[in-house]
Structure 1
Amino acid sequence: MSSWNSVPLHVSYEALGWFAFVCWSISFWPQVILNFRRKSVVGLNFDFVLLNLTKHTSYLIYNTSLYFSSTIQQQYRDKYGKKEMIPVAANDVAFSVHAVLLTAVSLFQIAIYDRGNQKVSKIACGIVTVAWTTAVVCFFIALHNHHWLWLLSIFTIIQVSMTVVKYIPQAVMNFMRKSTDGWSIWNILLDFSGGVANYAQMAMQSIDQGSWMNFYGNIGKLLLSLVSIFFDILFIIQHYVLYPERKRKLETSPDFDNAKSSDQTLAENV
């Protein structure tokens, strides 16, 4: 492993990494707690959870393989340079394990709590099937010539693809319902904070090493954060600007209905 040139940058790197880990890890809990308190998963899109589980499982495979396998680490250095640092830290591995477990808990909650008329779509099932079929086929190809780093690039493609599509069903559901009820905004706020810290962490390593290969060598991590931040901003706008709770309560209150009826009567008289 290449050494750090600056102690302050190294300390900043570790601090930002664990800050991102804490934010991202905690971000899974508000939704789980909300589901538990309501004894309902109405408002939480099931496609999102299923696609999210596939994404985090792929990310777990990528992180653990690159962090623990000396063979894959050697292949990484052969491709990107002998002095390049491995772009996966301990907090990345810890986060992946936690993410898979908590997403699995959310999936279990979907099975036992009130679901209303919601269900997993055939499109989501098809996407997941294609993703894992591709992974299995590529595994046997890599097994023949031991191109494990190439196999990890396939898991990178899967996780980035899942990240791109997983938010769409939830965003569309919020738009159709004109509401974010049942969808925890704290999940989004914490995820956004973790994404910003993640970029800062990668920048610390690049500045110390005088090379931006840290970004190029871990393009999956880069794209994941970029896409996640984009959708986090979208959900924040939906929750606080487009469908704020105060507005929803006002529109569903009896006083609002009475005022609306009075306005209509007045308009008709005029």
Structure 2
Amino acid sequence: MASWHSLPLEISYQVLGWIAFFSWSLSFYPQVILNYTRKSVVGLNFDFLVLNMTKHSSYLIYNVALFFSPVIQRQYREKYGYDEMIPVAANDVAFSIHAVLLTAITLYQVLIYERGNQKVSKTCLVISSAVWAVAVVCLIIAWPSQSWLWLISVFNSIQVFMTAIKYIPQACMNFGRKSTEGWSIGNILLDLLGGVTNFAQMGVQSLDQGTFVNFYGNIGKTLLSLEVVFFDLLFIFQHYVLYRPLREKPSSTVDEEITAPLVKSSGSSQAADV
């Protein structure tokens, strides 16, 4: 494994990595807390949640495989050079595990809190099903030749693709409702901090190693940071410029679309479709 040439840069790399980890990890909690205090998920787009779960599950597979598998690490170095560091750190693995867990908790809130007439779109279901079908096909192709590096790169590409599209339903929903109520801005601010520090971490590693291989060798992580920054800035613009909180309607008229929770407290045996 390649060693660091500069101790200050190595320390900076570790600090930035953990800042990104804590920022991205904490970014899940404002939405969960907001849902809990409102006892409602109206304003939170369900397509975003489903696409987000697919994204984080794929990223978890990529990070765990590359971080723990000696075979995949060997294939990586054969492709990019034996002196190169593996572009996945312990904080990447920890973040992915935490992200899948917190996204699952948020999906559970959809089942128990008021949600109005919101539901997962057919388009989202088709996209998610197609993505996992492609992953299974790639697994079948990779198995005979043991092309595991190629296989996990597919999962890395999946998470980049899902990151590129997962924010679109929420952004469109905000535009349509002319409001960001129900969508936590705390989530976005922490997410933005995580994206910026993650990108800076990769830059520090490049400066020390004198190569940009960790950018193009882990293009998914590079594109992830750029995509996160773009969409977070869009949501910040929506929240603070287009639909400022001061313009919100009185609580008695907000969320007219709210009807009933998915799981009724009366113990009704029927539940609305997700």
In the superposition, the TM-score normalised over structure 1's length comes to 0.92
For 2:165 and 2:158, locate their aligned partners in 1 and report how far apart those are by CA, in whole Å.
11
In the TM superposition, 1:20-35 aligns within 5 A as 20-35=20-35
| RMSD over aligned Cα atoms | 1.3
Q: Establish whether residue 168 from structure 1 lines up as the match of residue 168 from structure 2.
A: yes
Distance 2:95 2:233 in 1: 22
What is the distance in 2 between the residues matched to 1:50 and 1:124?
8
C-alpha separation between the residues in 2 aligned to 1:177 and 1:187? Answer: 19
Taking the aligned partners of 2:111 and 2:185, their CA distance within structure 1 comes to: 22
Match of 2:214 in 1: 214
Consecutive unaligned residues of structure 1, counting only runs of 5 or more, are 254-270
Distance in 2 between residues matched to 1:215 and 1:249, nearest whole Å: 46
Task: Give 1:247 shift.
Answer: 2.0
Q: Which residue of 2 aligns with 1:146?
A: 146
C-alpha displacement of 1:248: 2.4
Q: Which residue of structure 1 aligns with residue 7 of structure 2? A: 7
Q: Give the Cα separation in 1 of the matches to 2:248 and 2:108.
A: 29
Deviation, structure 1 residue 157: 1.5
* C-alpha distance in structure 2 between counterparts of 1:9 and 1:168, whole Å: 36
**1:31-89 deviations in Å (ceiling 9; x for gaps):** 00111111110000000000000000000000000000000000000000110110000
Match of 1:205 in 2: 205
Task: Give the distance between the partners of 2:50 and 2:40, measured in 1 at CA.
Answer: 17
What is the aligned partner in structure 2 of residue 256 from structure 1?
none
Question: By how many angstroms is 1:249 displaced?
Answer: 4.2
The answer to whether the aligner puts 1:103 opposite 2:103 as a matched pair is yes
Whether 1:196 and 2:196 are equivalent positions in the alignment is yes
Distance 1:199 1:46 in 2: 28
Q: Secondary structure at the match of 2:22?
A: helix
Structure 1 stretch displaced more, 68-77 or 148-157: 148-157
Give runs of aligned pairs for residues 1-270 of structure 1, distance below 5 A.
Answer: 1-249=1-249
- What is the distance in 1 between the residues matched to 2:222 and 2:67? 17
CA distance in 2, matches of 1:248, 1:44: 16
- The match for 1:264 is none
Q: Distance in 2 between matches of 1:234 and 1:248?
A: 19
1:101-140 CA-partner distances (Å, limit 9, x unpaired): 0000011111111110000000000000000000011011
Listed one character per residue, the Cα deviations across residues 202-248 of structure 1 (whole Å, up to 9, x for unaligned) are 01111000011010111000011111110000000000000001122
Runs (4+) off by over 6 Å: none
Q: Deviations over 1:136-177 (max 9, x none)?
A: 110111111100000011111211111111000000000000
1:161, 1:212 → 2: CA distance? 22
Higher helix share: 1
Within 2, Cα distance between the matches of 1:126 and 1:106?
A: 21
In structure 1, C-alpha distance between the alignment counterparts of 2:110 and 2:247, rounded to whole Å? 28
Whichever residue aligns with residue 199 of structure 1, its letter is F
Distance in 2 (CA, whole Å) between partners of 1:162 and 1:59 is: 10
The 2-side partners of 1:247 and 1:118 are apart by: 23
One-letter amino acid of the counterpart of residue 129, structure 1:
S
Cα distance in 2, alignment partners of residues 26 and 116 from structure 1: 27
Tell me how far apart the structure 2 counterparts of residues 199 and 121 of structure 1 sit (CA, whole Å).
33
Larger radius of gyration: 1
Matches of 2:214 and 2:153 in 1, distance apart? Answer: 15
SS in structure 2 at match of 1:181: coil
* Cα separation, 1, equivalents of 2:28 and 2:225: 16
Distance 1:36 1:129 in 2: 30
For 1:259, the equivalent position in structure 2 comes to none
Work out the number of aligned pairs and report it: 253
1:40 partner SS: coil
Q: Post-superposition shift, 1:100?
A: 0.3
| 2:84 partner SS | coil
